Amino acid sequence: QVQLQESGPGLVKPSQTLSLTCTVSGGSMSSGTSYWSWIRQHPGGGLEWIGHIYYSGSTYYNPSLKSRLAMSIDTSKNEFSLRLSSVTAADTALYFCARGGTVPADYFDYWGQGTLVTVSS
Amino acid sequence: DIQMTQSPSSLSVSVGDRVTITCRAGQIISNYLAWYQQKPGKAPKLLIYDSSRLQSGAPSRFSGSGSGTDFTLIISSLQPEDFATYYCQQSYSVPPTFGQGTKVEIK
């Protein structure tokens, strides 16, 4: 059973960088069978896909966030990370990591429980 | 980006009711459509993928249909644990995009 767990600060100051890590258990990220995504949900809002990373390190970012976004992967630790720079209150959201399929656009079958990030001074 | 539009945005129903939720894509997406259930404070749970395939572990009262631009999620007989928000998501092209959600509430 694959499990994902997000970790990182719950409070970030405006203009600073939001950093989150997702640790995957129950499967090896280096097997190359999945794309690994970040998805967020604003309070009371819908779901917004942020971007994904493949085991090789190749990434695709949502164009709306691309200029502020960086993702990385460490297959030896079975984890991947998100860095979102120059945050504002609009980045306050529940952040999920999720496992996609074997193609860049796919559905998400396993999700982390989510971590709430608040941007505030 | 492909826009996904769900209807209705909310509905009030009773246990045992048949529930129908629709999702329309802004362009043809073949059958690359998934449905999720989300309860407050929890992660979405995959119910249906490829428009009509039931995810392992999802109850058989959930079914999906459609192709092209128009899709439907049906709950054949609503159970108390089904009160939640449902989202569709296209998996045709990146970036994957979600509908705005349909909240199923108790009448």
Contact A111 B45 (CB under 8 A): yes
Is A46's CB within 8 Å of B87's CB?
yes
* Residues contacting residue A44 through CB under 8 Å, at least 6 positions apart: none
- Phi-psi domain of A18 (left: phi exceeds 0; alpha: psi -120 through 50; beta: other): beta
DSSP conformational letter for B51: T
Cα Rg for chain A, rounded, in angstroms? 13
Task: Supply the Cα-derived Rg of chain B in whole angstroms.
Answer: 13
Q: Are A35 and A53 spatial neighbours (Cβ–Cβ below 8 Å)?
A: yes
CA–CA separation, A71 vs A18, rounded Å?
Answer: 12
Record the tokens describing residue A30, joined without a space.
């280096």
Binary contact (B98, A48; C-beta < 8 A): yes
- pLDDT for res A27: 84
Residue ranges, chain A, pLDDT below 70:
none
pLDDT classification of B2: cutoffs 50, 70, 90: very high
Which chain A residues are within 8 Å of B23, Cβ to Cβ? none
User: Cβ separation of A107 and B42 shorter than 8 Å?
Assistant: no
Q: Which pLDDT score is estimated for B9?
A: 97
Contact list in B for residue A60 (CB cut-off 8 A) is: 94-95
Query: What secondary structure letter does DSSP report for A91?
Result: G
| Tens-place pLDDT, residues B51-84 | 999 999 999 999 999 999 999 999 999 999 999 9
Q: How far is CA A7 from the centre of its chain?
A: 10
**Using a CB-CB distance cutoff of 8 angstroms, which residues of chain B are in contact with residue A58?**
none
List beta partners, residue A52.
A37, A60
Whether chain B has a CB inside 8 Å of the CB on A112: the answer is yes
Query: Rounded to whole angstroms, how far apart are CA atoms B84 and B90?
Result: 20
The pLDDT assigned to A30 comes to: 79
Pairwise CA distance, residues B62 & B95, whole Å? 26
**A47 and B CB contact within 8 Å:** yes
Q: What is the pLDDT of residue B46?
A: 98
Query: What pLDDT, on the 0 to 100 scale, is given for residue A82?
Result: 98
Residue carrying the six token digits 């449905």 = B35
Chain A partners of B99 at a C-beta cutoff of 8 Å?
Answer: 46
User: In the prediction, which pLDDT does A44 show?
Assistant: 87
Q: Which residues of A56-94 are buried (b: 16+ CB within 10 A; e: fewer)?
A: eeebbbbeebeebbbbebebeebbbbbebeebeeebbbb
Question: Is A109 within 8 Å of B101 when comparing Cβ atoms?
Answer: no
Contact yes or no for B95 and A62 at CB 8 A? yes
> Would you say A109 and A102 are in contact if contact means Cβ atoms under 8 Å apart?
no
Please tell me which residue of chain A has the smallest CA distance to B42.
A113
The pLDDT > 90 percentage for chain B reads: 98
Average pLDDT of chain B is 97
Q: If you count them, how many residues does chain A have?
A: 121
Would you call B25 exposed, middle or buried from its count of C-beta atoms within 10 A (0-12, 13-18, 19+)? buried
pLDDT of residue B103: 98
**A51 contacts in B (CB within 8 Å)?**
95
Q: Do A109 and B43 touch (CB under 8 A)?
A: no
